[in-house]
Amino acid sequence: MHLLSKIPVISVEQMRRWEQATWAAGRSEQQVIQLVGRLLALRILQLTRPGDAVWIMAGKGHNGDDARAAQPHLVDRNVLLTNIEDPRQGLAEFSQRLHTQGLHRVRWIVDALFGIGLNRPLNEDWRKLIDAINVCGIPILAVDVPSGLNADTGQTEGAAIKAALTLTLGAPKRGLLEAPAFTGRLEVAPEIGLVSCPIQAELNWTAPEEFAGLPPHRTSIGNKGDYGHVAIVAGSLGYHGASVLTAHGAQRAQPGLVTVFPQASVYVPVAAQLQSAMVHPWRAGTPLPKNCSSILFGPGLAAEELPETLKEDLRSLWRTSPLAMVVDATALDWLEPGPAPDGAVRVITPHPGEAGRLLRTSAKEVQAGRLAALRALSKRFCDCWVVLKGHQTLVGRAAGDVFVNSSGNPHLAQGGSGDLLGGYLAGLLAQPDWRQNPLLAARFAVWQHGATADHLAETQVNWTVEDLAQWLGTIRP
């Protein structure tokens, strides 16, 4: 299977050490600035069209130098450059240009006023300038860090740019993950001319390039028996659509076979909407298919009256089954701490509210310490893998590396989105190649799910979860 490289989430001090190691190796700051300028220009060109205006707001430090180095590469764009050393004068020039040149052709403002070195409160003049930029209505691309944001803590130094997109350099800084209201969409430019990163961290960023060559190649003589059989226990009265979406998600992962076990009360509508998936009503003690290789338990099991035996079946499978098992949605509340068979793959996929219930705390507390919450969940449930969903979903377990997902957008906040993800992940884990590396399977499933949403957001004015089901699995890194 694919070997993973890692992009650590680092502190400002660690970034400085990385830079010093680069200068000691004989590379110059100017070389790095020129490469950053080209990479920044490439991203701006992707976001704009010929003739569009791009307004660069550049400070006097290296952050401003990075943005100024982009200007020669912005071909066929109308580049406005405002160099700002004095904020009062900068505000006057900004206001004048707004009134004389208008906003209708300015597609992006490039924020390069302050870099990661800012660690002091901004004076009133700087705060006024930043506030004026924030309210002008033009989307902002921040270079490395939104100006005014402390790159270590995620707190503002009195005021900070509210970026739609932050292109951070080398590796993400810790504070950027703590301040999504200011960073907007976070992207990383890892190859900026520095030496190989000497930093190791427990939290790591996910780059799409890590999934190059996935899914794994299938041989010409393969048959459906080679690619596993996923069993899905999902769907109850009032929630039958969850089992249908989950099945579609599993099918998009292309296991050999999919069998869905809804509650008997919704067997007919579920069976009527599925063609290639097999459907059987779930009853107490229902045996799994003999060739089953993974199980998904939970989506759509939210009806008020469910048989207690359903919960008992879940707990028994979790404790005793050697098969790969994913637990999602309502079924998460039925889990009990305890061991699982050695070597058996176990995955839970809570959102912050579900995680809070499992940890006897609140969603707010989970969000305030997501990494700690993930570790605690894994420890509580037999060192299982945890997909802690939400903005920048985390994937990991009690010890070892934890990965931050880089794909996705707010349009994923639709009912059924998580059902698709659970089905897709279970469909991957049904297959022998993927089951050998459950961390990679979970990371790829989460990234593919988010990347599909990003593709839809770029190509359609609006989209539904049914559209997500249609496109899931088609995005190439």
- pLDDT for 204 equals 98
Residues facing 337 on adjacent strands = none
pLDDT at 103: 64
Beta-bridge partner residues of 325: 295, 346
**Contacts of 477 by beta carbon, 8 Å cutoff, 6+ apart:** 208, 209, 210, 211, 212, 214
For 115-149, the DSSP string reads -TT--S---HHHHHHHHHHHHS---EEEESS-TTB
Do 113 and 64 contact (CB within 8 A), yes or no?
yes
Pairs from 16-23 (Cβ < 8 Å, separation ≥ 24): 17/198, 17/199, 18/170, 18/171, 18/194, 18/195, 18/197, 18/198, 18/199, 19/194, 21/194, 21/195, 21/198, 22/193, 22/194, 22/195
Residue 140, CA distances (Å) to 36, 84, 166, 264, 292 in order: 18, 17, 8, 53, 50
Cα 441 versus chain centre, distance: 14
E-assigned strand segments in 356-399? 385-388, 394-396
Residue 195's nearest CA partner among 37, 25, 38, 29 is: 25
Phi, psi (degrees; rounded to nearest 5) at 447: -65, -45
pLDDT in tens, 114-172: 999 998 999 999 999 999 999 999 999 999 999 999 999 999 999 999 999 999 999 99
Instruction: State mean pLDDT over 275-285.
Output: 93
pLDDT number for residue 1: 44
- CATH number (3.40.50.10260, 3.40.190.10, 3.30.10.20, 3.30.420.40) of 9-198 reads 3.40.50.10260
Query: Half-sphere exposure of residue 31, counting CA atoms within 13 Å on the CB side?
Result: 11
**What is the pLDDT at residue 91?**
95
DSSP 414: S
Q: What is the pLDDT of residue 194?
A: 97
pLDDT number for residue 304:
87
3-state secondary structure of 411: helix
Strand pairing partners for 282? 263
Structure-token pair, residue 218: 């299938």
Structure token pair of residue 49: 């069209």
pLDDT digits (tens, 9 = 90+) for 351-378: 999 999 999 999 999 999 999 999 999 9
Identify the CA nearest to 177 among candidates 442, 357, 390, 467.
Answer: 390
- CA separation for the pair 423, 399 (Å, rounded): 26
Asked if 167 and 7 count as a contact pair (C-beta separation under 8 A), the reply is no
Alpha carbons 323 and 346: distance in angstroms, whole number: 9
Assess whether pLDDT exceeds 60 at residue 3: no
pLDDT tens-digit map of 305-332: 899 999 999 999 999 999 999 999 999 9
* Residue matched to tokens 């406005």: 80
- Rounded to 5 degrees, what are φ and ψ at 285? 80, 10
The average pLDDT across 8-24 equals: 97
**104 pLDDT tier (thresholds 50, 70, 90):** low
Give me the half-sphere count of Cα atoms (radius 13 Å) on the Cβ side of residue 97.
22
Strand extents, DSSP E, 10-123: 53-58, 78-83, 106-112
**224-471 maps to CATH 3.40.1190.20:** yes
pLDDT confidence tier of residue 77, bands split at 50, 70 and 90: very high
pLDDT tens digits along 199-242: 999 999 999 999 999 999 998 898 999 999 999 999 999 999 99
> Is residue 347 predicted with pLDDT exceeding 50?
yes
Average pLDDT of the chain to the nearest whole number: 95
* Domain ranges across the chain: 9-198, 224-471
pLDDT value, residue 101: 66
pLDDT in tens, 177-194: 999 999 999 999 999 999
Q: pTM here? A: 0.95
pLDDT in tens, 422-467: 999 999 999 999 999 999 999 999 999 999 999 999 999 899 999 9
**AA identity, residue 201:** A
Q: Structure tokens of 231?
A: 């069993």
